[in-house]
Chain A
Amino acid sequence: MKEKHDYERARRYGMVIDLDKCTGCGACMVGCYMENNVPFKPDETNKLDSINWIRVYKLNNGKPYPETEICYLPMPCMQCDGVDLHGHSPCVSVCPAVATDYDDDTGIVSQIYTRCFGCRYCMAACPYHARKFNWWDPVWPADMKKALSPDVSPRMRGVVEKCSFCFHRYQLARNKAYFENRQNEPLGEDDYQTACAQACPTGTITFGDLNNKAHAVHQLKTSPNAFRLLERLGTNPKVYYLTAKNWVRRQGDNYLTDEEPGKLKQKR
């Protein structure tokens, strides 16, 4: 039986992405492709059937030149805590075969590829389009096959995949801590980092345990400039964004005409 989860004391890994620092270079996406054996097609122009665990969106303020402003928004899986922080994220609660699960130790939403039978209900449930379907068999050019990571299983046709916050790195960090006799200590910030956070040249992405005061994300998420995407839906994402620009913040959620971002009652 699952034990009741203490959301204040347990680890809750999350991200803080500073949108005002992002240049839209796409290094996070490339790093993720390489780290997680993410398959690709010869022609990737149709973004609606290509697989990426983190995708950089390009936003603009809708104003003509010279007032045009651009913002790049990297969007991985939000690893939602769900309504009332019970781990019933939109996708986990709907999967009919328990092929996706909420890990109470880390708050990370997993995807079990060999359990998934491809009904795509989780994709319909996810408002962030973070879940991708393998419409084709994954094929890598011969030389690239040799560069596949042995720590991450490649996926087969007909199943859903998504960002795992590089969970295999968490497992490796735990193993390392065990061999160094640190198993009873919390993992340090540098022990476990995602590939995208490390690949980012401008330090846009900060990753860590949101509940650990020693981790930068703990403080960053309380910034007055912090917000989460589609927060009003009650999904409780663990990915926070920072921006000083009101128009960016406004595009991160939906507001009625008389409502202002940041002035609504926060649901946590």
Chain B
Amino acid sequence: MFPFCFEWVWDMPHMVFMGGLWYALSIIGAGLTFAVVKSIIDMKSHDGQNQEHH
């Protein structure tokens, strides 16, 4: 899973497989972080007021 695991090999299958995994994880992580950070900013700028959505 990580390059420091002893069975890690810098070959094409590892790069494609793990590349896909870390790419997906990064998108999920970035999306979540964006939503949480923006919510904190929004909450402060709206002075604790709810906003209408849907």
Contacts and interface: CB of A to CB of B under 8 A. Distances in A.
A and B touch in the complex (CB under 8 A): yes
B7 A2 contact: no
Contacts of A98: 7
A141 to B, nearest CB: 39
B28 to A, nearest CB: 22
A2 B7 CA distance: 10
A1 interface: yes
A1 B7 contact: no
B4 interface: no
B2 interface: no
Nearest to A115: B7
Interface string A176-190: 000000000000000
Contacts of B7: 98
A21 B47 CA distance: 91
Q: Interface residues of B: mostly helix, strand, loop or mixed?
A: loop
A98 B7 CA distance: 8
Contacts, number: 5
Interface residues of B, number: 4
B35 to A, nearest CB: 33
Contacts of B9: 1-2
A99 to B, nearest CB: 11
A1 B8 CA distance: 9
Nearest to B7: A98
Contacts of B11: 1
A1 B10 CA distance: 8
Nearest to B9: A1
A98 B10 CA distance: 16
Interface in A72-119: 98
A17 to B, nearest CB: 34
B52 to A, nearest CB: 48
Nearest to B6: A98
Interface string B1-21: 000000101110000000000
Nearest to A2: B9
Interface string A1-22: 1100000000000000000000
A97 to B, nearest CB: 9
B20 to A, nearest CB: 16
Contacts of A1: 9-11
B29 to A, nearest CB: 24
Nearest to A101: B7
A1 B9 CA distance: 6
Contacts of A2: 9
A2 B10 CA distance: 11
B13 to A, nearest CB: 11
B33 to A, nearest CB: 30
5 contacts: A1-B9, A1-B10, A1-B11, A2-B9, A98-B7
Interface of A: 1-2, 98
List 5 tightest A-B contacts by C-beta distance, closest first: A98-B7, A1-B9, A1-B11, A2-B9, A1-B10
Interface of B: 7, 9-11
